[in-house]
Each structure stands twice: as structure tokens, then as C-alpha cells.
Amino acid sequence: MQWAPGYREFDPGVALRQEVHCLWVSVLTPGRSLTRVLPDACTDLIWQSGAGAFVAGPDTGPLPDTRPPGTVLVGARFRPGAGGAALGVPLSELLDQRVDAADLPAVPGGRLPGSLAPAEALRRMARIAAELVTERPPDRLVLDAVHLLGRPGARADLVAARLGLGERQLRRRCQAAVGYGPRMLARVLRFRRFLSRAEAAGTAADLAGLAAEAGYADQAHLTRESTRLAGLPPAALVRSRR
């Protein structure tokens, strides 16, 4: 593949789709060293050229990421609910953090030294992600909760009842597997629904309509959540991502 500037995602394969959202590559564009990373309820194992491997824990707000132009990043993005088991650590301990893989005993960061060629880093990342989710499969009840909480209008108490769990038990299991409780998870998933719809609509985006489709009470509700989770009101956020 060509390692041109930009961001690309790759299908992890049928066998891994329940646990791994994607493999990805990012080559930072010359002249642009600031990236706004937004919450997505996922966790990433990342290789950086010249540096090695680290883990990006689940975020609760926007994280400015500054790296030198030309830096190559290769990642495996674990789906919400799969990262805690795969990485062998309660994700509540990694909330809003970037942690060296060497500090996580269950992660074979030594197999991803910074001296690797990017193509080899991508090959190894694919193998390691497959090994991690096979050796330590996710909590299936949490994966079911993620699916239910991703629906517009979902309520944590009703999801817990449907799964046969108490609210406290669901919260504990979500905090370990996702990084935070079901209410925060529902907020992040709702925000990502809005973002995907807004990006698909492009310049024709009707924010009030998109807010209703995503599950917000009204456009003011969307504006509050966008400011909290992304650091920008929705119109400015959509413009910046475009």
C-alpha cells in the first residue's frame, strides 16, 4: 500500500468484527500537527513510528493530539465493550489516558518496536489484535448492552432489566469493559450517531433534524453535549471535520 498523508481504515476480517472495529493507518499531513480526538467509546492499541506501542484509553472529552508532521501511526480499534478484556486491564484505569504498552503486562508491546517499517507494523498489529481478542474474549453481556444503548431513546435502567442485571452490576461491568458507566456510554454513542449523520449530510446538514434523529431532546440539548464532548458547538464541529 502507499503511505501517503491521510487516514485510512481497514476491515479486520469476518472473524474479528464483533471485537475489532477496524485496523487503521494515519500519516500526519505536513503543515498540520494538531488533531482533535473525540470520544467514541472505543480503545486503541497504537504503534507510532520511531516510538513504539501505546494504548489510547477511552475518552470523555476532546483530546488535542500533537505529533510531528510525517509521523506514521498504525492502530487496532477495539469496539466498545471489547477493549478491557483484550488489553487485560479495567478500562476505568485508562480513562482519558495514553499509556505506554510496556506498562500493560497483557499487551505484547515488545513486538511493536518503533524501528519497524510501517507495513510490518500493520501486519503485526493485525496478528496481535486477533490474539488478544481470542485469548481474552469480551463480556458478551456488555456487548449486548452496547448494542441496546446505541439505540435512540435507550435508558440504562431498562437495558439493565432487559439483560437481567441490576443497574449497579451493569455499571461495574461497563466500567471494566468500556471505561465508564452505561449512562456515559449512551451519551457517547448518541453523539457518534449525530456525527455520522452530519458527515453523511455534508453541507446540507439540518442540525435540528439531525439532533432529533440521533435522539436529542432538541437542538439546544445537542449543542450542550457537543460542547462537552467535542469542545465545539455542532455547526463549528461539522465545519471543522468537513
CA-to-CA separations, 209 to 5, 134, 151, 215, in angstroms, rounded: 34, 41, 17, 10
For the chain, the average pLDDT equals: 93
What was the pLDDT predicted at 86? Answer: 97
Once rounded to an integer, what is the mean pLDDT over residues 87-112?
Answer: 97
How far is C-alpha 209 from the geometric centre of its chain's CA atoms? Answer: 25
Distance of CA 163 to the CA centre of its chain: 24
Query: Could you read off the pLDDT of 51-67 as tens digits, one per residue?
Result: 999 999 999 999 887 88
Q: Which of 34, 31, 36, 37 is nearest to 5 (CA)?
A: 31
Grid coordinates standing for 186?
A: 449512551
Domains of the chain: 6-135 (no CATH), 140-241 (1.10.10.60)
Measured between alpha carbons, how far is 184 from 149 in angstroms, rounded to an integer? 10
101-158 per-position pLDDT tens digit: 999 999 999 999 999 999 999 999 999 999 999 999 999 999 999 999 999 999 999 9
> Sign of torsion, CA 184 187 189 191?
negative
pLDDT of residue 70 exceeding 80, the answer is yes
Q: Between 234 and 34, whose confidence is greater?
A: 234
pLDDT for 215-235, tens place per residue? 999 999 999 999 999 999 999
CA dihedral 237, 91, 161, 194 (to 10 degrees): 10
Instruction: Report pLDDT for 32.
Output: 58
